Structure 1
Amino acid sequence: MKRSFLALSGAILFSFSALAQKAEPVFKDGEAQIVEAFNNPDEWIREDLWVETEFDTDGDGKPDRVHVDVTRPKQTETEGLKLPVVYESSPYYAGTAGMAPGLFWNVKHELGATPPPRTHVEVKRRGERPIISNSQIRTWVPRGYVVVHSSSPGTGLSDGSPTVGGDNESLAPKAVIEWLSGKDNGYTSREGNEKVQAYWSTGKVGMTGTSYNGTLPLAAATTGVDALKAIIPIAPNTSYYHYYRSNGLVRSPGGYLGEDIDVLYDFIHSGDESKRAYNNRTVRDTEMANNLDRVTGDYNDFWAGRDYLNDMKPMKAALLMSHGFNDWNVMPEHSYRIAKRAKEMGLPVQIYYHQDGHGGPPPVSQMNRWFTKYLHGIDNGVENDAKAWVVRERDSQKEPTAYADYPHPAAQDVTLHLTKGGNTAGNLTTASSKAKATEKLVDDVNFSGADLAKAKTSENRLLYLSPTLKEALHLSGVGKIEIKLASSKPAANLSVWLVALPWNEAADAKIYDNIITRGWADPQNYKSLSKSKPLKPGKFYSLSFDLQPDDQIIPAGQQIGLMIFSSDKEFTLHPEPGTELTIDLDGTKLTLPVVGGKAAFEKAAN
């Protein structure tokens, strides 16, 4: 009897020892830690498969399947370990058209004119199975996650057609997330019937990615799919109208003059070559060609259907957004508008802003806390952390400053009026203008915005300056311009920059040293975004529009300058020089979000 008891005790001890040696996620200070057992890439299991969707966008009469890859610790196979998933989807994984000659629209023409045709290109697919991408893997697999990638419809080895914001780009990741949470829609091949299950998944999924890859987490979240618990979109394009138009104006994303939605379609269309003719005919050459409207730039149902703000009602996922205030490609309004609506809906929301350009994720620790809470279910209190994190000027992106919210809760609108002298420099003042004056500028796209801002005098822009600041001034939020103008022609570009002067020409100068924020508009849309109306030359029209969101501390010794001009060489169409814009100073004002309000502005400026 004694020997049996000892044998049983030994068996129990061996069993406990074996259990103790099993690898599992480890958490410290509210974050998932790197686990050495998960940290050997040679032991990771890498495989690919296809997930069947509920749509057919390539016209073959069969539901489209999307190509998916999986990277997971070996313990999900050897020890039955189940882990949550970090998922990234993209149209870029299998290659793009690059900067092919003729791909972009020619912008050198008059406003309202039909542009000359552009050149279509074909993308050659690249990549070898089973690896679609290596992104996210080294960050998250060692911390106890499975990492999954998928190629968007019509790209790589995924069926379907790109639609650049169409419903299939929301429903494709939804189908993958449903497979990850137990749906029987996974297959070992593109066309076969052998099934595959995500038996290693806990059914909790988080998504992240940058730019287009940051758009798709939001797209998936707007479907309301239950298993998508958290998303971290980085510099996402949340509205294709806001990306390719601005307040009715045809306006390119920064760095990609002449890009439009059909250009992006060609840029990413790396899918099955046998399906491309059908896709091109139905999507690019019909739906896009009939609705993108480069002639007027007006808003319509096509653009409304590619604005994720309109689709947010079903969204449940906890949202951590990231954006750069000097991202002039995907501008900061894209994240601001979505975060604002998500807060209004009562969703968990944090936003991280930095002072640089396109891209830039939150610190890994911040992302880690978000996924630890919403994917692993660890009660780390992240929902009680600061709602806004802003990287201050010249601080490291890894060291944001915490704020109660964004915009800063102490920010108040301050209205500034204009006084005469804009061809050299008029004044910006809190005192109401009684100038009863007009001032004129002459459009000339040969001068860049920077050229105009630095010029001591110019007939091609109007510039109005605050007094030199005696102490730093903190701006936080969305500025607005109300402007009353007349044009010498039925159509004109309108561009507005808010600048900090004197212009810093130093080699290490940052863009925020000089450009505070910007905005663009089509005066023909003064009444309606969806219906432009030709201007009567010489007649005055009033319009107002928002500038891009910002959070910036303007240092003492600088002046804040409002610059009004017409064609913006980096962003707008390039008409022939000569259009005259006349600005009514009494009917024009600038509203700035100042931390501390009017008292803070006057204290700094007087």
Structure 2
Amino acid sequence: MKNNQFAIEPVDRATELKELLASHFIDDTIDQLNDPLAVWQELLHKTTLEAKNETVFKQKLNNYLATPETTLGDFLDSHQPLTNDIFYRVALQLLEFDVGNDFKLEDPIQAMKQIKLPIVGEPIKTKADLLHAWYLLLCTHTKNGQTYLDKLAQAGYFVPFYEKTTEPLFFNGKAQAVFDPHQLIRDVVYVEAPLDTDEDGKRDLLKVEILRPKQTQDGYRAPVLYTASPYNQGINDEAGDAAMHNVDVPLAAKEPNHLTYKDIHYQETPKELPAKRKIAGEQQEADETFAMEAPYTLNDYFLTRGFAVVYAAGIGTKDSDGIRATGAVSETVSTIAVIEWLAGNRTAFTNKTDNIEIKAWWSTGKIAMTGRSYLGTLAVAAATTGVSGLKTVVSEAAISSWYDYYHDGGLVAAPDTFQGEDMDVLATEVFSRMQKPGDYLKIKDFFDQVLQTMAKDQDRQTGNYSHYWDERNYVNNVKNIKADMIMVHGLNDWNVKPRNVGNLWNALRDAPITKKLILHQGQHIYINAFRSLDFTDMMNLWFSHELFGLDNHAEDLLPDVLIQDNVQPETWTSYADWQAPTDKKQAFNFEAKELVPETVPVRTAAASFSDHLDPEIFDFYKKHLNVWERDLLTTNHDTKGENQLRDNRLIFKTSRYDEDTYIDGSVQLKIRVAVNEPFGMLSFQLVDYGDAKRLTVSPTILASKSLSGAYDWRRDNLREFTLQKEATPWKMITKGHINLQNRHNAYQVDELKANDFYDLTVELQPTFYHLLAGHQLGLVVYATDFATTVRGNQELQYSLQINQCKITLPIK
């Protein structure tokens, strides 16, 4: 078990005392005490919240041990001097660490150091020393993934603050839970966007759901966390399933072209808009409310800390106007219209009929965007407009280019577990106007036409990058970003593949903003409830700085790049950069079944494989992707029984590494290949071969519904990646695909002659990977990827001139 805390702000003793006073840990009783033992006992009394009288308090004290032989209650009664050993022995118990399992009673200081919990360096001899140690303890994480102060907040410590709270309370640079979440005001307004996407002659109105502290009724102004979620008003699962595309289609030859980027570059064409609605009046209070939103637990945490939270599903969703056209500029305009209203720069109405204006008078005009996947994608899109009022974005698993979501190297390449999905399918999924039959009746025919146009423009026939996809590439507009950016992504996310965050990070490297990057070992997940990382505290430090203007050194305290190790559980390391240009590389030439250092002469000239399977085997693999992956990566001599893919891929391995090695960035392949038809594709997987207990694919729930950070409030599961119980023989590190006719780029199509050899360069998805000593790196070369590409099961035979093939690894 390792504690990784990056959000503890170092402050001086005077600031500590001021904050302890403001948070009522220091009061008149404490002021009158000088003995550190007596002060400690009073602080323990304040924080034993379940005890309503002295009897229960003493009863609770005797649940803890002050020494291996003495309970805390007996120790306090004995009036023996307080020592650091005793303070931290009790502290570990208050922090919920288990005696015997997590630490030994005999040496609590060593346990604090091993778990990486902060401790004071000097002896606790005076009242001032005790208060300093207590302050640091309040900032320290418990075993169950929250600061001790948040644990107290969850137990009710800040409930007495509710009635008197008029402004945020900050402790150690972070806002505290002094706002009553049960007194939230819930409003619905309709923002008028500068759009008419349903072409009904009226500007689109967008439904916005607002949760704000009741104190905003009495003059308090709140900064806003805004999540743009197309799923917020519901999704159409059945309609989406019905719209999925058949991927069991043959790969076909493409007509060569000589396109340049200039030919396909997107430039917006201004459209004439209907006039704005004439304002018939103004009021402060909303006409409409709502019972329950589709929440994000990170937002829930901040609702008790003086922030307002706003959700909007955008155009084409239930109770809003317009249509969906996934990734189009109109989606971005729809997203920032809400920001503009929150910042006082756009009109909203109390309902969709009366034209009564309502302003965001309760907002400070300072906005952050949050969210994962499509939600984080719209946050990135909004940032690239430079919209006024948007101070920061925390994007998790966000798409930076929709082409990189649904395509790869001139191929249709599905996101993980969504074979057959594309832009039109996703638009159908989130077009929740469909769920209001009366509203849908008016718009169905028009939306069907939009879907037909999308199906044509997304071009599943060629898989090429085009004008359509260039409109949906937010990296093109990174130069406009003014908001500070925090990007979070999983190194094992094969839904929104790592290239999305990699390209965005590279584009932002020299931008004049503050930017941070967090890379975890997960797939397509949130990480705000992990035990090993104080992510929620980090975001509290960040938002308190960005939205409240607190000078808490968040820009310096939070690492520029933070990466979770894939070998050691609960290990996070700070770095200056990710995938930065480097001269330190490892290069290997291909040999028969081997990857040999580039200095070693290559003897073997060629190797080949087929892309065709017997129909029965082909159908079996389609239905059992886990078996297909196992057979793909398992070398023939390791297979128990017959491996049906033995002739359908090539595997090349290095010798065993003699030291731990870190791969940092994009692995580059130079391949010389021929195919027996005038079309073809290649797929690649870089694999770690070696028996090891690896981290679980998905986080393990350590404690169900245990986290909220506020009293009697919404709870989240505590999670963490843990080691698998059994060793596995391999792990896929990264992968990539390419259409052989897109040898230069994804929009230029080259001629491919059957049986002629061609040189191509492929960059695999960027990664950061810790390869253990004793393990081998393997490269698997194949064609059809059952989980990702089209599956034509064609009679294709591929040949590699392997003495002209090379792999280059960027090494940290």
Q: Same fold (TM over 0.5)?
A: yes
Q: What whole-Å deviation, never above 9, does each CA across 1:578-603 have from its counterpart, x for those lacking one?
A: 311111113211111112xxxxxxxx
CA distance in 2, matches of 1:226, 1:396: 41
Is the 2:409–2:745 contact (alpha carbons within 8 Å) kept by the matching residues of 1? Answer: no
Bigger shift: 295-304 or 388-397? 388-397
For structure 1, the 5+ residue unaligned runs are: 1-17, 115-126, 596-606
Of 275, 297, 304, which aligns to 2:463?
Answer: 297
CA distance in 1, matches of 2:607, 2:581: 37
Is the 2:689–2:729 contact (alpha carbons within 8 Å) kept by the matching residues of 1? Answer: no
Of 297, 310, 319, which aligns to 2:485?
Answer: 319
Matched, 1:547 2:686: no
- Give, as a single letter, the amino acid of the residue that structure 1 aligns with 2:577: D
Is the 1:486–1:537 contact (alpha carbons within 8 Å) kept by the matching residues of 2? Answer: yes
Is the 1:109–1:573 contact (alpha carbons within 8 Å) kept by the matching residues of 2? Answer: yes
Bigger shift: 558-567 or 377-386? 377-386
Q: Give, in angstroms, the shift of residue 103 of structure 1.
A: 2.7
Is the 2:181–2:303 contact (alpha carbons within 8 Å) kept by the matching residues of 1? Answer: no
Is the 1:83–1:200 contact (alpha carbons within 8 Å) kept by the matching residues of 2? Answer: yes
Q: Give, in angstroms, the shift of residue 369 of structure 1.
A: 2.0
Pairing 1:586-597 to 2, within 5 Å after superposition: 586-595=803-812
Tell me which residue corresponds to 2:131: none
- Give, as a single letter, the amino acid of the residue that structure 2 aligns with 1:561: G
Matched, 1:107 2:247: yes
**CA, structure 1 residues 131+411, in 2 after alignment: closer, same or farther (shift >3 Å)?**
farther
Secondary structure of the corresponding residue to residue 398 of structure 2: coil
**CA, structure 1 residues 220+396, in 2 after alignment: closer, same or farther (shift >3 Å)?**
farther
Tell me which residue corresponds to 1:429: 597
CA distance in 2, matches of 1:557, 1:444: 35
Tell me which residue corresponds to 1:381: 553
Q: What whole-Å deviation, never above 9, does each CA across 1:115-166 have from its counterpart, x for those lacking one?
A: xxxxxxxxxxxx9936443334421111210000111210121111111111
Tell me which residue corresponds to 1:134: 295
CA distance in 1, matches of 2:794, 2:415: 22
**CA, structure 1 residues 428+276, in 2 after alignment: closer, same or farther (shift >3 Å)?**
farther
Q: What whole-Å deviation, never above 9, does each CA across 1:187-232 have from its counterpart, x for those lacking one?
A: 1112321111111111100001010011011111111111000000
**CA, structure 1 residues 407+519, in 2 after alignment: closer, same or farther (shift >3 Å)?**
same
Q: Give, in angstroms, the shift of residue 42 of structure 1.
A: 2.2
Q: Which has the larger radius of gyration?
A: 2
Q: Give, in angstroms, the shift of residue 396 of structure 1.
A: 6.1
CA distance in 2, matches of 1:512, 1:375: 48
Q: Give, in angstroms, the shift of residue 496 of structure 1.
A: 0.3
Q: What whole-Å deviation, never above 9, does each CA across 1:407-459 have from its counterpart, x for those lacking one?
A: 37878332221112xxxx32332325443601101114636243121132622
Pairing 1:138-157 to 2, within 5 Å after superposition: 138-157=300-319
Q: Give, in angstroms, the shift of residue 67 of structure 1.
A: 0.5
**CA, structure 1 residues 75+512, in 2 after alignment: closer, same or farther (shift >3 Å)?**
farther
Of 487, 493, 498, which aligns to 2:686?
Answer: 498
CA distance in 2, matches of 1:103, 1:113: 25
CA distance in 2, matches of 1:396, 1:179: 44
Of 630, 636, 661, which aligns to 1:473?
Answer: 661
Q: What whole-Å deviation, never above 9, does each CA across 1:291-329 have from its counterpart, x for those lacking one?
A: 111111111100000011112222111000000000011
Secondary structure of the corresponding residue to residue 505 of structure 2: helix
Secondary structure of the corresponding residue to residue 524 of structure 1: coil
Is the 2:635–2:651 contact (alpha carbons within 8 Å) kept by the matching residues of 1? Answer: no
CA distance in 2, matches of 1:436, 1:512: 27
Tell me which residue corresponds to 1:486: 674
Pairing 1:9-20 to 2, within 5 Å after superposition: none
Secondary structure of the corresponding residue to residue 586 of structure 1: helix
Pairing 1:157-172 to 2, within 5 Å after superposition: 157-172=319-334
**CA, structure 1 residues 387+410, in 2 after alignment: closer, same or farther (shift >3 Å)?**
farther
Of 720, 731, 735, which aligns to 1:514?
Answer: 731
CA distance in 1, matches of 2:323, 2:527: 29
Tell me which residue corresponds to 2:607: 439
- Give, as a single letter, the amino acid of the residue that structure 1 aligns with 2:661: L
Tell me which residue corresponds to 1:454: 634
Of 362, 365, 369, which aligns to 1:203?
Answer: 365
Normalised by the length of structure 2, the TM-score is: 0.65
Matched, 1:218 2:380: yes
Matched, 1:88 2:230: no
Q: Give, in angstroms, the shift of residue 376 of structure 1.
A: 1.1
Q: Give, in angstroms, the shift of residue 535 of structure 1.
A: 2.0
- Give, as a single letter, the amino acid of the residue that structure 1 aligns with 2:417: G
RMSD in angstroms over aligned alpha carbons?
A: 2.5
CA distance in 1, matches of 2:382, 2:319: 20
Secondary structure of the corresponding residue to residue 254 of structure 1: coil
CA distance in 2, matches of 1:405, 1:167: 31
For structure 2, the 5+ residue unaligned runs are: 1-160, 255-287, 434-438, 529-534, 622-627, 638-645, 695-723
Q: Give, in angstroms, the shift of residue 534 of structure 1.
A: 4.7
Q: Which has the higher helix share?
A: 2
Is the 1:484–1:543 contact (alpha carbons within 8 Å) kept by the matching residues of 2? Answer: yes
**CA, structure 1 residues 504+260, in 2 after alignment: closer, same or farther (shift >3 Å)?**
farther
Tell me the number of residue pairs that the alignment of Structure 1 and Structure 2 aligns: 555
Is the 2:611–2:783 contact (alpha carbons within 8 Å) kept by the matching residues of 1? Answer: yes
CA distance in 2, matches of 1:167, 1:368: 31
What percentage of aligned pairs have identical amino acids?
33
Secondary structure of the corresponding residue to residue 803 of structure 2: coil
**CA, structure 1 residues 327+464, in 2 after alignment: closer, same or farther (shift >3 Å)?**
same
**CA, structure 1 residues 68+326, in 2 after alignment: closer, same or farther (shift >3 Å)?**
same
CA distance in 2, matches of 1:510, 1:80: 60
Secondary structure of the corresponding residue to residue 213 of structure 1: helix
CA distance in 2, matches of 1:520, 1:502: 25
- Give, as a single letter, the amino acid of the residue that structure 1 aligns with 2:589: H
Tell me which residue corresponds to 1:574: 791
Q: Give, in angstroms, the shift of residue 275 of structure 1.
A: 4.3
Tell me which residue corresponds to 1:13: none
Q: What whole-Å deviation, never above 9, does each CA across 1:3-31 have from its counterpart, x for those lacking one?
A: xxxxxxxxxxxxxxx9x944211222222
Bigger shift: 566-575 or 405-414? 405-414
CA distance in 2, matches of 1:426, 1:592: 16
Normalised by the length of structure 1, the TM-score is: 0.87
